[in-house]
Chains A and B, each alone.
Chain A
Amino acid sequence: MQGISFIRIIGVGIKSLRLHKLRTALTMLGMVIGVWAVITLVAIGEGASHDAQEEIKSLGARNVIIRSIKPPSMREQMQGDWESFFRRWMAIYGLKRTDASRIKDTVPGVTRVLPLMTKRMTAIHGPREIGCQLIGTYPYYPEFTQAQLVAGQFLNEAEENSKVSSCVISLELAQRLFAGHNPLMERIVVSGYESSQVFQVKGVLQERASIEKLAQLPDSVGQTIAANVYIPLSSFKALYGEKNVDRSVGHLKLEAVELSEIRVEFDSVDRVMPSLPLLSEALNAGRDERDFEIIVPIRELKALQKQKARDTRLLMYIACISLLVGGIGIMNIMLATVTERTQEIGVRRAMGATRGDITIQFLVETLILCLLGGGIGVVGGWGFAWVRHHLLHTTTIVTEWSVLVAFGLSVMVGLVFGLYPARRAALLDPIDALRHA
C-alpha cells in the first residue's frame, strides 16, 4: 500500500462512482438534504430570534411599560342595575399622573418616568386622510424609546410650556401623508370626534421598532400604530382634557383615562426584575381593580433566550436524525456496492491489493460521496439563506457552528457507515471474493 498516491486512490474512487451515476447521485442526495436542512433550519431560527430580540431591545431592556387597560368589571355584559350601566357608559379608569410620580418616588433605581396620552385621530393634509394616533408626551420621548429624529427637531421644553401648536410626525405618517414632499413647516389637521386642530410639522421621527408585535391585551389603550403625531403632553391636556369619547364600536361611550401609558426607566438592567414587586405595590395603592398591564421587555428577552436554547436543541435533534438517515442510506448503498463488487475485490486482491488497500478504496469512495454531498448541502443552505435574507428580506443568519456541525457530522457519518462495508469487503479471503458470482 505504501507509495500509492492518494490522488490515484481518489481517481479510482471517482471512476467507480461514475460507473453508477444514478446510484451515486441518489446517495449524495440524502447527504445534501441532511446538511442543507440543518443549515437552513438553524439559519431561519436564528434569524427569527434575532429579529425578536432586536425588537425587545428596542423597547429598552432597562424599561418597563405600564399601560392602562379597561378593568374586567367595565367589560362585563350589562346587568341591569344603574351603577353598572353607568360604569360602562362613563368608564373612568387607568393610570394617573400621581401614579407616575409615586413610582418615581417610591421605587428604587428608577431614573425617569415618561407619561403618555394617546388618542385615535385622523390626520389630514390636502386630499389625504390617514388614521393616526395622537401622542401627548415629554421632550425626552426620543431618547427614552430610542427613536431617531430623521428631519427637523423634536418637541422642546419651550413648546411644552408655551402650548404653540407644533407637532412631530412619525416617518411612516410623513411618507403616507406627504408622499415624497418635505413635510417640515407644513400644516396638518388632526381631527377627532370632538374637535379638529391645526398643527405645524416641525420634525419627523422614526420609531426604532414597533411595539405592536409584542403580546398585547385586546383592550389595552396604548395600542401603538405606526402613524403617529406627537405633541406636548400639556397641549394634549389643554386641547382634549382627560375624557376620551370612544365611538369606534358604533355606540356612544365615554371613557376617562388620564394617562394611557407610563414608561419607567431603571438605572440598570439588573435593577428591573427585583423592583417589579415594589412597582406593583406603588400602582396597587389606591386601586380596588387592576386597570393596567405591565410589560417587561427584559423578562420577555430572557424568556425568548430560553426559548431559543430549546429551539436550537430541537433543531440539533432534527439535524442528527436527518444526517443519521442520510448515513444509513450511505451504508445501505455501500453494502450493496460491496456485495455487487465482491468479485472485483477478489480480482484486485489477486492482483496484489492488501486488505488495507481495499478498505481505503471503499472508504475514499464514501468520503467522496459525503464531502461532495455535504459540500453541495452547505452551498445550498448558504445560498438559500442568502436569497431569503437579501432577496426576500427575511432575517436569516447562517451560523458557523451549524455549518461545522452539519459538515462534520456528514463526514463522520460517511466514515462510520462507510467503514463497516469497507472492512467487511477487505476481510474476505481473496479466493472467496473471487468465487463470488
Chain B
Amino acid sequence: MAKHSIIQIKDLKKVYDLGAFKVQALKGLNFDIEEGSYTAIMGPSGSGKSTLLNILGCLDRPSSGAYILGDDDVAHMDDKELSGVRGSRIGFIFQSYNLIQQLNVVENIHVPLFYQGKDISDHYDHCVKLAEKVGLADRLDHRPMQLSGGQQQRVAVARSLVNEPLMLLADEPTGNLDSSTEQEILDILDELHGEGRTLVIVTHDDAVAERAERVIHLKDGLVDQDIRKGAAKAVAK
C-alpha cells in the first residue's frame, strides 16, 4: 500500500545570519514523511533537530529549498497564511509544555480552536473528551500551576489534537519528565499512532526512538542516517 506523503522537503537550508558570521544550521535536507507514519529525529546537540522541527511546524521559515505540506507550498506563505496552517493542520507538543497560565485545562485544550474562530461553548464536549482521553477527567478546571509536569504534558497532547491536525510535532516531549511519566506519555503517543495519526518526534532518548517506525539521524545540518524499521532498510547519506 503506497502511502501518501504529507511532507516533502527538498534541499532545505537554514542559515542564521548573526552579522559577524553565519551559522548554517541546515545544509540541504531531502526527505518525505508519509501519512500515518511515526518518525523520530535524532542526532547530537546542535545538529539542527529543533531548527528542522520548527520549520516543519511553520514556526520558522527555511532560508532556501522547498517545503510542501499536504499540497501547499508552505515556504512561500505569508504570516497570516502560516498562522492558519499552524492553527488548523499542525499539533505542537513542547518540551516545556507551554500551557497558558491563566486558563484551566479545558480552556487550554480549546486555544487552537479559539483562533479558528470556534467558540468554546460549541466545542466544550469535544475538549472534555480529549481531556478524558489523556486521563485528566477529574482535573478539568485546574490551572497549569496546579498540575504535575506529566499532567501538564498530557494537557499539551490533548491540545495538540483538538484541531484534528494533519500531523503532531513534538520537540523532546519527555525531556523534562521522569522515566515512568515518560512511559505514560509515550503510551499515549503510541495510541495516537495506532489511531492513524502522523507523528514526528525529536528526541535524544533511544527508548523513544525504539517506538518509532523510522529514525532520521541528523549530523551537522545534514541527514546522517535514515532508518526505516520493519523493512530494516538503512539509507546512508
A residues contacting B by CB (< 8 A) are 1-5, 8, 12, 15-16, 18-19, 343-344, 346-357, 429-431, 434
Interface residues of B in 119-139 (CB under 8 A from A): 119-120
Q: Are B103 and A3 in contact (CB under 8 A)?
A: no
Interface residues of B in 50-103 (CB under 8 A from A): 54, 57, 59-60, 79-80, 83-84, 86-88, 92, 94, 98-103
Partner of B100, one of A3, A348, A355, A429: A348
Partner of B87, one of A19, A346, A351: A351
- Bound complex: CA of A189 vs CA of B83, how far in Å? 97
Main secondary structure of the interface of A (DSSP, over half): helix
Q: Are A4 and B59 in contact (CB under 8 A)?
A: no
Q: Tell me which residues across on chain A come within 8 A of B83, comparing CB atoms.
A: 349, 352-355, 357
Chain A min CB distance to B198 (Å): 18
Chain A min CB distance to B118 (Å): 8
Tell yes or no: B116 within 8 A of A by CB.
Answer: yes
Give the residue name and chain of the B residue nearest to A426 (CB). B79
- Bound complex: CA of A434 vs CA of B119, how far in Å? 25
Tell yes or no: B117 within 8 A of A by CB.
Answer: yes
Partner of B102, one of A15, A346, A430: A15
Q: Tell me which residues across on chain A come within 8 A of B31, comparing CB atoms.
A: none
Q: Are B117 and A351 in contact (CB under 8 A)?
A: no
Q: How large is the interface on B (under 10, 10 to 19, 20 to 34, 35 or more residues)?
A: 20 to 34
- Bound complex: CA of A350 vs CA of B102, how far in Å? 17
Tell yes or no: B48 within 8 A of A by CB.
Answer: no
Contacts A429-B60, A431-B59, A434-B59 given; indicate if A352 touches B101 (C-beta within 8 A): no
Give the residue name and chain of the A residue nearest to B55 (CB). A431
Q: Tell me which residues across on chain A come within 8 A of B88, comparing CB atoms.
A: 352
Q: Tell me which residues across on chain A come within 8 A of B118, comparing CB atoms.
A: 3
- Bound complex: CA of A347 vs CA of B155, how far in Å? 14
Q: Tell me which residues across on chain A come within 8 A of B86, comparing CB atoms.
A: 349-352, 430
Chain B min CB distance to A101 (Å): 87
- Bound complex: CA of A18 vs CA of B111, how far in Å? 18
Chain A min CB distance to B18 (Å): 14
Give the residue name and chain of the B residue nearest to A9 (CB). B114
Partner of A352, one of B84, B94, B102, B119: B84
Q: Are A347 and B59 in contact (CB under 8 A)?
A: no
Q: Tell me which residues across on chain A come within 8 A of B112, comparing CB atoms.
A: 351-352
B residues contacting A by CB (< 8 A) are 54, 57, 59-60, 79-80, 83-84, 86-88, 92, 94, 98-103, 111-112, 114-120, 159, 163
Q: Are A347 and B98 in contact (CB under 8 A)?
A: yes
Partner of B115, one of A346, A352, A431: A352
Give the residue name and chain of the A residue nearest to B115 (CB). A352
Q: Tell me which residues across on chain A come within 8 A of B80, comparing CB atoms.
A: 354-356
Q: Are B98 and A357 in contact (CB under 8 A)?
A: no
Partner of B57, one of A1, A344, A350, A357: A350
Give the residue name and chain of the A residue nearest to B111 (CB). A351
Which of the listed residues A343, A344, A430 has the most CB atoms from chain B within 10 Å of its own CB? A430
Q: Are B59 and A353 in contact (CB under 8 A)?
A: no
Contacts A2-B117, A429-B60 given; indicate if A19 touches B102 (C-beta within 8 A): yes
- Bound complex: CA of A18 vs CA of B117, how far in Å? 23
- Bound complex: CA of A353 vs CA of B159, how far in Å? 14
Give the residue name and chain of the B residue nearest to A5 (CB). B119
Which of the listed residues A1, A12, A350 has the most CB atoms from chain B within 10 Å of its own CB? A350
- Bound complex: CA of A429 vs CA of B86, how far in Å? 13
- Bound complex: CA of A344 vs CA of B116, how far in Å? 18
- Bound complex: CA of A1 vs CA of B114, how far in Å? 9
Q: Tell me which residues across on chain B come within 8 A of A434, comparing CB atoms.
A: 59, 94, 98
- Bound complex: CA of A355 vs CA of B84, how far in Å? 11
Query: What are 9 A-B residue pairs whose CB atoms fall within 8 Å in the complex?
Result: A2-B117, A16-B102, A344-B101, A347-B111, A351-B92, A352-B84, A352-B163, A354-B79, A354-B84
Q: Are A352 and B117 in contact (CB under 8 A)?
A: no
Contacts A19-B102, A434-B98 given; indicate if A357 touches B115 (C-beta within 8 A): yes
- Bound complex: CA of A430 vs CA of B103, how far in Å? 20
Q: Are A348 and B119 in contact (CB under 8 A)?
A: no
